A = this chain, B = another copy of it.
Amino acid sequence: MGAKEGLQGIEENINKALSNSETLILGCNCEVSYSGRAESHLDAGDRIIMIKADNTLLVHQPTGSNPINYMKEASHKIRAGKRIKGTLVLESSSNKESMKILINKLHFVHSAALEDGQKIQLNGTERDMAEMIMCSPDVIEDGLRPVKQEEQTKYGFVDVLAHDKKGNLVVIECKRYKGSLADVTQLRRYVEKIKKSKGISKIRGILASNGITPNARKMLEDWGFEHKQVEPPKYMERFNSRQRNLFDY
């Protein structure tokens, strides 16, 4: 962005950056009002405002990892404040939501056309955990035989479906973190659904997770289900230990 002087020049440059789908960063003292799915107001303080190429707007306070305010797929426009000389107003609106930011003092502005078509490669998800169990079902128990993946998908969201040594059907729900009450009720829903759809009365349910809370364990046992301690896999860790140089910048 050019170094044109004065508020009006800044205003013009910001609006130009916005219409060019550049990524825009403002450091400023501002107050924020929002109305849409809920209503909010935030009194004046120093914040970073980011408007991305896809018109996502984020307002970040100097602490915390989440934006304190945000808008998605909105149109944005900046103009001079009507009430107080020297202020700017950033107005954002979308279908059902609107936001108004009063900028009391602009600390800095930066805009740039950014290019990034990369997608993240992520390992250690719940999906990876389920795949690990399907490839090595012994981590759950001896003699477990997972049903074929194509077969399993008929039953919807079940993480792993298998037969145990005695031929019982086993529903396994994976959680990468500590199992909770909600996780146990989720397992129960799947067991009940498959019981009904297959007309089988005895189906085992196993929560495979990295720990379980006491209340969740109690509910699990009350319902006749089981818990198996499993830690989520991190394939890249193994990969890195062999090829550490890849990330040795």
Contact with B along A212-232 (1 / 0, CB 8 A): 000000000000000000001
- 16 further contact pairs, Cβ within 8 A, besides A38-B122, A100-B249, A185-B188: A25-B27, A27-B110, A37-B176, A42-B120, A45-B118, A48-B114, A53-B63, A54-B64, A62-B114, A65-B67, A81-B249, A82-B248, A83-B248, A89-B249, A108-B110, A182-B182
Chain B nearest Cβ from A247, distance in angstroms: 5
Once the chains bind, are B38 and A115 in contact (CB under 8 Å)? no
Tell whether A35 is near chain B: CB-to-CB under 8 Å.
yes
Between A and B, 28 residue pairs with Cβ closer than 8 Å are A23-B27, A27-B112, A35-B234, A35-B240, A37-B176, A38-B122, A38-B232, A39-B234, A39-B235, A40-B120, A41-B120, A41-B236, A42-B119, A42-B121, A44-B118, A47-B116, A52-B63, A53-B63, A56-B63, A56-B65, A68-B120, A69-B120, A81-B249, A83-B249, A89-B249, A100-B247, A182-B182, A185-B185
In the complex, the count of this chain's copies comes to 2
